[in-house]
Amino acid sequence: MEKYDVAIIGGGSAGLAALKQLSNHKKQAVLLEAGNKIGSKNISGGILYSKKLKNGHVHNVEDVYGDIFLREAPVERKIKKYILHATSKDKIYSMDLTAAHEYESNFGYSVLMTKLNSWFAEQAAESAQKFGGGIIPGVHVSSLEWNKKTNTTIVTTDELEEFEVRAIIAADGVNSEIAQISSIPKFTPQQLYQGVKVVVKLPEDIINERFEVESNEGAAHLFAGDVTINHIGGGFLYTNSSTLSVGAVYHFDSLLENPTEPYTLVDSMLRNPMISEFIKDQVPSRRKIDKSLPQEEQLRIRFAITKLLKTWNELRDASLSKGGREELLKSGKYNSEKAINERLSSIQEQLTEKYGVGFVTDYVEVEYGAKLIPDGKRCRMVKPYHKNILFVGDAAGRGIFIGPRIEGLNVGIDDAVRAADAVTRALDRNNFTSNYFGEYYSQSVANSPYTRDMKRIDKDYLKIFLDAAKDIPKDIISAKYGTIIKLMSSDTFRSVAVKLANILGYERLLPIVESEDTFVKVPIEVAKRLGEKVTATYVPSIPSIDDRVAKLKFDDDNTSHIKVLKPQSEFMKKMVTLCPTKCYSLENEQVVLQHEGCIECGTCSHETDWKHPRGEKGIVYEYG
């Protein structure tokens, strides 16, 4: 049997950071990823932060990958504006929270996971290969067999021959199968959020102009109020280089209480007049081909239109981006920007005159996706290890979600470094006893400033938030919180109040802080009273969920990776509504699963026998 030092299970940003860090320590590690390409199953909101925390040191992405990250990593835009909007129909009240976004941070980049993770993978694989390790995509771990005598684990996969390792880093995400194998209970709906996201295509120059940002710089917009359709959570819109990420994130228990289709929740975002205006673009509208023409002629026209549209799209995208224009001029095909634009209008004219293709105001959605998000305040593992397995990132239930503070990727990377360091130490001493290994890692994670942030309120962060909200009339906030807010808003009393709050503990505070009042009622009232009217100039034509699923790429497996255990349970009946890709239906009071189109979010995993698909199978995200 082949033997390796370390297996990392899961090739997301945490798993890859663990591999890179182990290679930095010259250790051999093999990373197994179920997707056929690294990044193909990863999806995130998302903003990747690098932090400088006053209460301790965290390991940032640039510490792991080096300065090359800052120079070359395919991040999208450096977020320079962070704005929270309260919505009520066409009324919107905006609060600038840029100071909160910049608080204790070196930077925050908007990112798209498939692209970024494949860059991380290139870096990590190159280093790992030097020490006899590497990345193996398309492999799904099916079981682990612990050998007490040798203190090693035999890894069984669906695709490869068994092999033996001395340590495992489980980075297999929020629906961690390694946790399941280790008999660690699944996260409960109270501990999770469900996030849904669409990626909208929009040329770079239009983004710069519309969001009033420089090239490479971007904006983040958060939304609360009536866009939530009465759920606890909110929406987001982040600018990427030449796309926008628009999504909605809600407490899973709030969704179970009042089930609304995830796509309806994201549609509610897209229909908000401010967002409709943010995403709009010039879009060709296809003309139906005359069916009375001979078939060959129909086909010829279809191919001709497709080809022209493809050229138009590529040329337009390039002409509306700095890099694209430079490339076009460098290629020698065009001698000036004017020539590019002339060519573009000539194609457009040809499309209109010859083929009757019109151009209208609408938006272009390129990808739909969803994932569960662990709420670190509620579900972080107290001891994130089991025998010689260390859990990191989402798999360990770690993410920081406090009001407008939304961090997950950086937390996973910090965990990964701590895990890699713990593995290195154990390898050096050849000591994998739980005291020396698992317990050491557990302590290291417990001491991470991120863990502290999951447990308590930071009064300085709170001050920024309260300062931004100072114009909101106090009477909007119900009598219940009036005193608290008053205390918190006073410089003298805040620190006492926060101390008191921290003594009370998050468990008792959370139901007050994260309630329908704070996410829905108060924002609606604020928008109604203080908001400015925003009108959309068009109605976005939002694709149906069937069309969205049809656009996704899958490598379908012939066997389902999900088995329904209780087809008549209340929870499963709610899945008919809450599955983001409508995989469930109700027939004769029984919930029936149709697994094609499953995007592996794990929403239904609470009451199903849920595994990831076999290697290379399932969803293949293009953006993520």
Partner 1 sequence: MNQLNVAVIIKLEPDFSEGNVSYNPDGTLNRADTKNTLGPHSAIAANAAFYAKVKYDAKVSVATMGPPIAETALQMAQKLSDAEELHLYSDRIFAGADTLATAETLKTGIQKMQGKMDIVFSGHRASDGETGQTGPQTAWKLGYPFFGNVLNYEVNVQNKTIRIKRLVSLQGFNDVIEEVEAPLPVFLSVDPSYKSLFNTVSQRISYEKYQKQAKIRSENYKQYLMVFNLQQLGVDPTLVGLPGSPTIVFRVERIPKGKANRQAEVLDSSNPEHIRKAIAKINEALSAMVIK
Do 395 and 173 contact (CB within 8 A), yes or no?
A: yes
Cα-flanking dihedrals φ and ψ of residue 158, to 5°? -75, -15
Compare residues 6 and 372 and give the one whose CB is closer to partner 1: 6
Binding mask 381-410 for partner 1 (x = CB under 8 A): ------------------------------
The Cβ-side half-sphere exposure at 469, using a 13 Å CA radius, reads: 25
- 576 binding partner 1? (CB under 8 A): no
Applying CB under 8 A, the span of 12-20, 180-188, 231-239, 304-312 interacting with partner 1 comes to 304-312
CA 624 to chain centre: 7
Burial 94-107 (b: 16+ CB within 10 A, else e): bbebbebbebbbeb
Applying CB under 8 A, the span of 55-63, 275-283, 291-299, 553-561 interacting with partner 1 comes to 291-299
Compare residues 295 and 336 and give the one whose CB is closer to partner 1: 295
CB of 30 to partner 1, least distance (A): 6
Token digits of residue 254: 């709030």
d(CA 484, CA 55): 25
Q: Tell me, what DSSP letter sits at residue 396? A: G
d(CA 31, CA 170): 10
CB of 595 to partner 1, least distance (A): 16
Q: Which residues pair with 392 in a beta bridge?
A: none
Do 106 and 93 contact (CB within 8 A), yes or no?
A: no
232: helix, strand or coil: coil
295: helix, strand or coil: helix
Compare residues 83 and 579 and give the one whose CB is closer to partner 1: 579
Instruction: Choose, by CB under 8 A, the member of 26, 52, 57, 307 that binds partner 1.
Output: 307
Going by DSSP bridges, is the β-strand pair 364-374/192-201 parallel, antiparallel, or unpaired? antiparallel
Compare residues 147 and 443 and give the one whose CB is closer to partner 1: 147
Residue whose pair of structure tokens reads 């308590």 in the numeric block: 456
- 589 binding partner 1? (CB under 8 A): no
- 493 binding partner 1? (CB under 8 A): no
Which residues contact residue 554 at a Cβ distance below 8 angstroms, ignoring those fewer than 6 apart?
596, 597, 618, 619, 620
Span 108-147, contacts to partner 1 by CB under 8 A: 125-126, 129, 132-136, 139
Compare residues 125 and 198 and give the one whose CB is closer to partner 1: 125
Compare residues 202 and 308 and give the one whose CB is closer to partner 1: 308
Token digits of residue 196: 């849904």
- 300 binding partner 1? (CB under 8 A): yes
Token digits of residue 41: 């199953």
Applying CB under 8 A, the span of 83-91, 305-313, 325-333, 404-412 interacting with partner 1 comes to 305-313
CB of 306 to partner 1, least distance (A): 5
Span 150-189, contacts to partner 1 by CB under 8 A: 159-161, 163
Applying CB under 8 A, the span of 186-194, 294-302, 395-403, 430-438 interacting with partner 1 comes to 294-302
**Between vectors from CA 365 to CA 270 and to CA 582, what angle results, nearest 5°?**
80
Compare residues 56 and 132 and give the one whose CB is closer to partner 1: 132
CB of 300 to partner 1, least distance (A): 5
Token digits of residue 165: 């390792």
Instruction: Choose, by CB under 8 A, the member of 310, 322, 480, 551 that binds partner 1.
Output: 310
CB of 525 to partner 1, least distance (A): 42
Compare residues 52 and 307 and give the one whose CB is closer to partner 1: 307
Q: How far is CA 173 from CA 176, 198, 392, 522, 611, in A?
A: 5, 20, 8, 34, 12
Compare residues 532 and 546 and give the one whose CB is closer to partner 1: 546
Cα-flanking dihedrals φ and ψ of residue 568, to 5°? -115, 5
Span 29-58, contacts to partner 1 by CB under 8 A: 30
Compare residues 135 and 501 and give the one whose CB is closer to partner 1: 135
Residue whose pair of structure tokens reads 């965290």 in the numeric block: 58
- 586 binding partner 1? (CB under 8 A): no
CA dihedral 567, 571, 577, 578 (to 10 degrees): -120
Instruction: Choose, by CB under 8 A, the member of 68, 212, 303, 342 that binds partner 1.
Output: 303
Going by DSSP bridges, is the β-strand pair 389-391/163-170 parallel, antiparallel, or unpaired? parallel
The residues that touch partner 1, with contacts defined as CB under 8 A, are 2, 4, 30, 125-126, 129, 132-136, 139, 159-161, 163, 296-297, 299-300, 303-304, 306-307, 310, 587
